[in-house]
Amino acid sequence: MTDTSIPSAEQSLDEETAPATVAEEAEETEAGLAPEKKAPAESELFRQSEIAADYVEGLLDILDYDGDIDELVSGGRPVVEVVGASLQNLVGQRGATLEALQELARLAVFRQTGTPSRLLLDVGGYRANRRKELAAVAKNAVEKVKEYGEPVRLEPMSAFERKCVHDVVNAMSGVESESEGVEPSRRIIVRPAD
């Protein structure tokens, strides 16, 4: 069972906050804004997914939820997928609970490995469905930018959601995207490319 205790007072502030900044660092790295770091080996990534899966399994037991847990490595990052019926409460409104659970799982990995993780947690296929929705939002914004030549500001989104939109926009010519603001009100602006 994974240690789920709260960080002690003896731990440095960096240890407590490091996993919380992983999502922003991942977004910046993916968008080409931050220097690339050496990628962990696949075996280390799989170990991270196993640690997170153990943590999530413990939470499911405590909450008395049934779900099958798969741990894998996809796209150079550890992934844990929880599949089952009646898991909507673990996703929450607009994925807020899922984001919180993902940060807790990342913290569990950090506590065991001492290394921040880019772990991606998905429950009931929520992220795959949300990716499709966000692709449509991004394409719609691109169409508006191309039609009117004016920037389009999208609603505030999580780091995962912003990355999905950036990926779609960056694959299209004549437009560019940029994140602005501070969490939880960080949003994307899609504008004509220079």
For residue 7, what pLDDT is reported? 38
For residue 36, what pLDDT is reported? 54
Mean pLDDT for 125-152 is: 93
Of 8-12, 144-148, 157-161, the least confident? 8-12
Of 186, 140, 184, 147, which Cα lies nearest the Cα of 28?
A: 186
Instruction: Count the neighbouring beta carbons within 10 Å of the beta carbon of residue 75.
Output: 7
Structural tokens at position 161: 């959601």
Burial 87-107 (b: 16+ CB within 10 A, else e): beebbeeebeebbebbbbbbb
For residue 29, what pLDDT is reported? 44
Is residue 22 packed enough to be buried (19+ CB in 10 Å), middle (13-18) or exposed (0-12)? buried
Is residue 45's pLDDT more than 60? yes
